[in-house]
Amino acid sequence: MSRSSRSVRLAAIALATAVAFITSRRLTHREATAEQPALAATPSPAELAHADLHGRYAEARLRLAQANLAQAEHLAETVPGQVGGLELASLRRRIEVLKRHVVTSREQAHGNGFGLATTAAMTAVRQAEDELATARSANMRQPETVSQTTLRQLEAAAELAQARLAVWNDPSFLDSPLQVMQMQIDQLADEVFDLVHRVDNRFLQDRR
């Protein structure tokens, strides 16, 4: 097993442990707390410093993503075929998501994951739909450029991305903080295990 595979598996194990711990606790007191009116207060210097730390963290992630895009664009220009248009589009969409993360982190250091995850789900839908459209266009120009098995993979990936976005947009979860938290945990677990699957089955990717 490669080092990357071991790292992803360790992350999955850690996540599964965290999920088991959180879901086993009795969190009904959160419902009662949510019904109490919030008290306006001026943030303390320590709270402001902590919020600034989260903002700087989000900005650092954005700068790295921008540097990765610049490197990919450089490779695309200097080494033909090294980086494709879909990869560049994916990197650009990641920057869109991280720009949103910077804004939300500055506005609210904690509890901003819902909006960020929804934005990420929207960009994932666009990415999956673009990949499917590109494959279909290639086959219209030259039949069998993309195999039928690959097309079925892309169609299933687009369907999954659309379903995941629908889950994040489902308003029924917004009535209960506990349900929102549980949905986020479930989706995070799904994404980690999807990542494990992709690492374990990377040889299935058609690179022709």
Query: Same domain for 84 and 115?
Result: no
Q: What is the pLDDT of residue 60?
A: 93
Spatial distance between the Cα atoms of 133 and 191, rounded to a whole number of angstroms: 24
pLDDT tens for residues 93-117?
Answer: 889 888 988 888 877 766 566 777 7
Domain of 100 in residue numbering reads as: 44-110
- 13 to 9, 50, 169: CA distances (angstroms): 6, 29, 28
CA proximity to 53, closest of 106, 115, 104: 106
Query: Same domain for 151 and 106?
Result: no
Q: Is residue 6 part of a domain?
A: no
Query: Same domain for 125 and 144?
Result: yes
Query: Same domain for 103 and 168?
Result: no
Residues 6+ apart with CB under 8 A from 30: 177, 178
pLDDT < 70: residue spans in the chain: 1-41, 109-113, 171-175, 195, 197-208
Query: Same domain for 151 and 74?
Result: no
User: Number of folded domains in the chain?
Assistant: 2
